[in-house]
Amino acid sequence: MDISKIIGGIRLDPAATIPLYIQIANAVAAKIQENILPPNTKLPPERELAELLKVSRTTAINAYHQLERQKMVRTRIGSGTYIAELSSHSVPKADIPWHQLFSPHLQTPLSSIIKELVSTVVSSDSISLSAGMPDPALYPLDAFHDLFNLTIKNLDSTDFGHIPTEGYFPLRQELARYLNQKNIFSQPDDILVSTGSQQALYLLTKVLLAPGDYVIVESPTYLGAIQMFQSAGARILTLPAAGRFPLSLMEDYLIRYRPKLLYILPTFQNPNGRLIPLNERQEILSLASRHRLAIIEDDPYGELYYGEAPPPSLKALDHYGGVIYLSTFSKILFPGLRTGWIAAPAAVINRVALEKQYMDLHSNNISQWLLTNFLGHNLLESHLKLVRREYKKRRDSAARALRRHLETLISFSVPGGGFYLWCHLENRITSRQLLHEVTKENVSFVPGEAFYADPLGEKEFRLCFVTHREELLQEGVKRLAQALHALMKNTVASQTNRPNSIRPII
């Protein structure tokens, strides 16, 4: 490598406002980035640099100083100037105590679980029964490809500019039409489009909850909601999500704690698949209305029923204007669309829109046109028929495999819809022990503790049955059974190690 030739080839512009030393430093830095000048290359001495580029010696010195400040080069005293190792200039030395500047972050022990679930890669040799994701093979990609080409011709250039914070108006019209079919009588103004229903929940938390406020949730419930409420400083009151809805416990909470809201998934709940029957829905609403309790009804799974359609949503039955309804297309179409929505009284939509305006001005336009047309061309119903048929088969197949391989060792009930089988271990093994064992076989699920605000669920776990086709599901359950049998053989030893005992910290 002829270093003089490389450096001598740098072209400077003496007429530019950028000083020559910066021009030189930038040109050298670019060659370092492109690896034309690799780490540890010795650069010409300052005097030679000045001659090569026909600049003053001061300019050459300043150029090397600039590169040194940027950690691109380092000077060895008595030896000269060398290109630095990549690692040193790509990570600038942090002279600023960032961690002390950050606002405190309430980090629950399980707060990284969503992040891990989201980054789970579905690879060919692993069987993920953990992430609540639809099967990528069923994404309606051809329809979206056709819609894009159809749509883009009919768009006005204003459709590519800023749209209202509440969402693209034609989409809100389609959503109102869709909700009206489900007896949720809405106008476009009652609807706000969000970046997934996660953002809808974040916005509502921001707008409704202050530190110390009480929130009622089911137990177990969606783990993202628990984390969101806790990170807002709210206090969680739990209602067991099994058997008859515990109305009198809810009433006690209402009287004693005056909670701000009830967060509930009445239809094919995440994680336990529970469906609240119509009469209990009416009882919940009548108790809530007497206490002026606001309800957030989260309904990502309502369309995914594998037998009879579920009863009307709480929102459809709402007679006191207290229900805020959330849903999303992530579980039905594909998560990358990032499109959810809130249907709520106008007072709520207006306040949430003020917050969303600060947050991101508005959500992405492209997904919003595409969905407008997907709904407008009535493509949703046929897609739903397809996924319902397919997911029903998978639910039944997973349930059969669990019964065959794990007969007396676990119990579960078969949900009428949704994504999940909620299993209970009928022996000494905990779901964390099982997870630890089964990940060796490239199978994963979510241990029950993740879904509880209280320290419960160590014998429970959630299996998502929709992500993989039947053969893989069967294989996953088989490996799960092998792991459990292997664990049970070795439990005598682990018995002595009681995981729940608290030891002094010394």
Residues of this chain, 317-356, that bind a copy of itself according to CB under 8 A: 317-322, 334-338, 345-348, 351, 354-355
Task: Reduce the DSSP state of residue 176 to 3 states and report it.
Answer: helix
Select 131 or 216, whichever has its Cβ closest to a copy of itself: 131
How far apart (Å, rounded) are the C-alpha atoms in residues 56 and 49? 9
**Per-residue string for binding with a copy of itself, 131-150, x by CB under 8 A?**
x-x--xx-x-x---x--xx-
| 345 Cβ contact list (under 8 Å, min separation 6) | 190, 321, 324
How far apart (Å, rounded) are the C-alpha atoms in residues 401 and 135? 19
Output the smallest distance, CB 488 to a copy of itself, in A: 34
> 3-state SS of 416-450?
CECCEEEEEECCCCCHHHHHHHHHCCCEECEEHHH
- Under the binding rule (CB under 8 A), the answer on residue 380 touching a copy of itself is no
Select 219 or 367, whichever has its Cβ closest to a copy of itself: 367
How far apart (Å, rounded) are the C-alpha atoms in residues 21 and 232? 50
Among 8, 39, 246, 312, binds a copy of itself (CB under 8 A): 312
Output the smallest distance, CB 409 to a copy of itself, in A: 32
Please report, as residue ranges, which positions from 237 to 266 form the binding site for a copy of itself (by CB under 8 A): 260-261
Select 148 or 424, whichever has its Cβ closest to a copy of itself: 148
- Under the binding rule (CB under 8 A), the answer on residue 124 touching a copy of itself is no
CB 462 within 8 A of CB 472: no
Q: At what angle do helices 278-290 and 247-257 cross, to 10 degrees?
A: 20
Output the smallest distance, CB 462 to a copy of itself, in A: 17
- Under the binding rule (CB under 8 A), the answer on residue 386 touching a copy of itself is no
Output the smallest distance, CB 52 to a copy of itself, in A: 21
- The residues that bridge with 193 in the sheet, in sequence order, are 341
Output the smallest distance, CB 262 to a copy of itself, in A: 12
What DSSP letter does each residue of 47-83 carry, written as one string?
HHHHHHHT--HHHHHHHHHHHHHTTSEEEETTTEEEE
**Per-residue string for binding with a copy of itself, 97-116, x by CB under 8 A?**
xxx-xxx-x-----x--xx-
CA angle 41, 47, 48 (to 5 degrees): 55
- Under the binding rule (CB under 8 A), the answer on residue 118 touching a copy of itself is yes
User: How many residues at the interface with a copy of itself, by CB under 8 A?
Assistant: 119
- Under the binding rule (CB under 8 A), the answer on residue 417 touching a copy of itself is no
Among 9, 38, 92, 233, binds a copy of itself (CB under 8 A): 92
